Amino acid sequence: MRKIQFSLVYRDMFQSSGKYQPRKDQLVRVAPAIIDMGCFARVETNGGAFEQVNLLYGENPNQAVRAFTKPFNEVGIKTHMLDRGLNALRMYPVPADVRKLMYKVKHAQGVDITRIFCGLNDVRNIIPSINYAQEAGMIPQATLCITTSPIHTAEYYFKIAEKLIKAGAPEICLKDMAGVGQPAMLGKLTGMIKSKYPDIIIQYHGHSGPGLSMASILEVCKNGADVIDTAIEPLAWGKVHPDVISVQSMLKNEGFEVPEINMTAYMEARKLTQEFIDDFLGYFMNPNNKLMSSLLLGCGLPGGMMGSMMADLKDIMTAINHARESKGEKPYSVDELLIRLFNEVAYVWPRVGYPPLVTPFSQYVKNISLMNLLTLEKDQPRFTMMDDNMWGMILGKSGRLPGKVAPELVEMAKEKGKEFTDADPQSYYPDALPEFEEKMKKEGWDEGPDQEELFELAMHESQYRDYKSGLAKRRFEEDLEKARQAKDLVKLTPEEISAKLHAEADPIVANESGRVLWDVKGGDEGEKGLEPYVGKSYKDGDQFCVIETNNGTLVSIPADMGGRVVEICVKQGGAVRRGDIIAYIRHF
């Protein structure tokens, strides 16, 4: 019987479910239960998104990492982190000397293995990190970002794996971040690597989203995989990962040697995780992330970004439906818009060169697709709302794209004076540590043990400054209060919600009789714009609307102290008398 080990991806369980990670004190509480389960050889403790979100709610991530890794280090359970190669722990490229410092810091903090990936599978972004990790005493686990396309075959991935193994990687991770990797291909790829490199450790990481992950786990194990990433309830399945109980049962029945699970400890870890969710993490989790969806097979978007994607979709939905209503067209429901987004991703993806849809390229492709939906509704062409990061991916500044960029984008780049490149991506981002050392001195901040505070400033400067000033904590507490209030509203009837909102809102009152004109910007007859919508925000001093009096005079109605629109009581051109309520606005 061949032995299979399990890894608990505790960080990614939360990353795939919502916005935040558990606090340091919560991580310290759950670690003993995870250890007592007795089935995990590895635990993912930190990495991409962990550090930033800790900073966002005002907690020092360095202290959290040290506290969480310590109990696992003491009992010999290997800890591992996720890093994004050229982008290290953030969404955009990092200077080489800051990347190098990261491994020194993380090794000192108790992290054993670093899972290094490049969203484009460009070995130029991975190999330097293999060297940095080894120099710092860490185990570099080189990663293949798995997707399904005409380009991404087992042979394609095997060639990349060979380069990474020859560069010194002792382990390979098959990172099936969207769960769209086909089981047969994954099994074939695992067998190809193991046949030629039998001593290489292969770890499989597959999200459950579209429902293929259990079949994929079985296939990779039959073909030589050594370690399988798993989750635990209440965050298993959905857009996350298979539960360790199911994986253990399946593999044990197939004849593999797998560890037993202490179910008393499992239930304790499960209870604590639910407690953390109930405490505050659940306020920032989209319920849809608990659901699996075959629709993900069409667009290939990863489970780890579904939370942010649904939030973005709701944000842009208002603007899209506003544009549709202005043309007399029926607004989209969330489901209708979601299908349109998935279809648009399928349209955009091959045209931008088939980048595997993983951070940050999944976000870029998703954002391009979202902007395309908006511009199409405004009768504008696709690809007209792309920022420098999106263009950087297309032009090659982040690495080589697997496929060819569509001619229309090549022509658009030429018109904008943008140049394609095949230069080493790191060459665009020179060393910067001396600059950050000077900033630390200027602020009077200590660089911290093993320069971990210097690293944090250099990696996440704006978030770190907000953390140091206390702004991050205040902002988080405000967001949490809003989220709690929104959760409370769900329990009310529509009538109760309306009454509550009106009780907390102020009316915008007509100061003259006449007819209401929205967003008039001046001129002899006025320029009629689009009327506001529920949820639209106004700043203090903004014009809310204009009343055209019976003698033709235009009288401006201010938005008072600003706020968000709760209800609109008068439509464009509607008649009002002095004192009538035009709308309700809730102040920030």
For 450-483, the pLDDT digits (tens) are 999 999 999 999 999 999 999 999 888 888 887 8
- Structure confidence at residue 527 (pLDDT): 39
Q: Specify the 3-state DSSP secondary structure of 82.
A: strand
Q: Is the pLDDT of residue 328 over 90?
A: no
Q: Is the pLDDT of residue 235 over 70?
A: yes
Task: Quote the percentage of the chain above a pLDDT of 90.
Answer: 58
Number of neighbours of residue 430 by Cβ within 10 angstroms: 9
Q: Is the pLDDT of residue 546 over 90?
A: no
Q: Is the pLDDT of residue 304 over 80?
A: no
Strand partners of residue 79 = 43
Q: Is the pLDDT of residue 361 over 70?
A: yes
Q: How far is CA 395 from the centre of its chain?
A: 23
User: Which residue would you say has higher pLDDT here, 339 or 257?
Assistant: 257
Lookup: tokens for 77: 């359970």
Averaged over 37-52, what is the pLDDT? 92
Amino acid making up residue 214: M
Q: Is the pLDDT of residue 585 over 70?
A: yes
- Structure confidence at residue 9 (pLDDT): 98
- Structure confidence at residue 563 (pLDDT): 82
Q: How far is CA 323 from the centre of its chain?
A: 27
For residue 516, the surrounding DSSP H or E stretch is: strand 514-518
Number of neighbours of residue 529 by Cβ within 10 angstroms: 14
543-548 and 554-558 strand pairing? antiparallel
- Structure confidence at residue 521 (pLDDT): 46
Q: Which residues in 235-266 are b (16+ Cβ under 10 Å) and which e?
A: bbbbbbbbbbbebbebbeeeebebbebbeebb
Averaged over 212-239, what is the pLDDT? 97
> Taking a C-beta distance cutoff of 8 angstroms, is the pair 173, 220 a contact?
no
545: left (phi over 0), alpha (psi -120 to 50) or beta: beta
Q: Is the pLDDT of residue 195 over 90?
A: yes
- Structure confidence at residue 525 (pLDDT): 38
How far apart are the C-alpha atoms of 335 and 183, rounded to whole Å?
A: 28
- If you search the block for the tokens 């860490």, which residue do you land on? 138
> Taking a C-beta distance cutoff of 8 angstroms, is the pair 196, 189 a contact?
no
Tell me the CATH architecture of domain 495-586. Beta Barrel (2.40)
Q: Is the pLDDT of residue 306 over 70?
A: no
5-8 and 227-230 strand pairing? parallel
Ranked by mean pLDDT, the top range of 84-93, 508-517, 522-531 is 84-93
- Structure confidence at residue 218 (pLDDT): 98
Q: Is the pLDDT of residue 531 over 70?
A: no
Q: Is the pLDDT of residue 514 over 50?
A: yes
Averaged over 334-338, what is the pLDDT? 84
User: Which residue would you say has higher pLDDT here, 587 or 410?
Assistant: 410
Q: Is the pLDDT of residue 185 over 90?
A: yes
In this prediction, residue 523 has a pLDDT band, given cuts at 50, 70 and 90, of very low
Question: Is the CA virtual torsion 281, 85, 456, 69 positive or negative?
Answer: positive
Question: Is the CA virtual torsion 490, 492, 495, 499 positive or negative?
Answer: negative
543-548 and 514-518 strand pairing? antiparallel
- Structure confidence at residue 493 (pLDDT): 67
- Structure confidence at residue 574 (pLDDT): 85
User: Which residue would you say has higher pLDDT here, 314 or 62?
Assistant: 62
How far apart are the C-alpha atoms of 327 and 321, rounded to whole Å?
A: 10
Q: Which of 228, 231, 159 is nearest to 189 (CA)?
A: 159
Averaged over 30-42, what is the pLDDT? 98
Q: How many helices (H) and strands (E) does the chain have?
A: 22, 16
- Structure confidence at residue 303 (pLDDT): 57
117-126, 341-350, 529-538, 571-580: segment of lowest average pLDDT: 529-538
User: What pLDDT, in 10s, does the model give residues 393-438?
Assistant: 999 999 999 999 999 999 999 999 999 999 999 999 999 999 999 9
Lookup: tokens for 329: 């067209």
Strand partners of residue 231 = 243
Averaged over 238-244, what is the pLDDT? 95
User: What pLDDT, in 10s, does the model give residues 95-134?
Assistant: 999 999 999 999 999 999 999 999 899 999 999 999 999 9
pTM score of the predicted model: 0.80
Q: Is the pLDDT of residue 305 over 70?
A: no
- Structure confidence at residue 524 (pLDDT): 38
Could you tell me the residue ranges of all domains in the chain?
A: 1-82+231-294, 296-428, 495-586
User: What pLDDT, in 10s, does the model give residues 126-180?
Assistant: 999 999 999 999 999 999 999 988 999 999 999 999 999 999 999 999 999 989 9
Query: CA neighbours within 13 Å on the CB side: how many for 338?
Result: 13
Q: Is the pLDDT of residue 356 over 80?
A: yes
- Structure confidence at residue 528 (pLDDT): 39
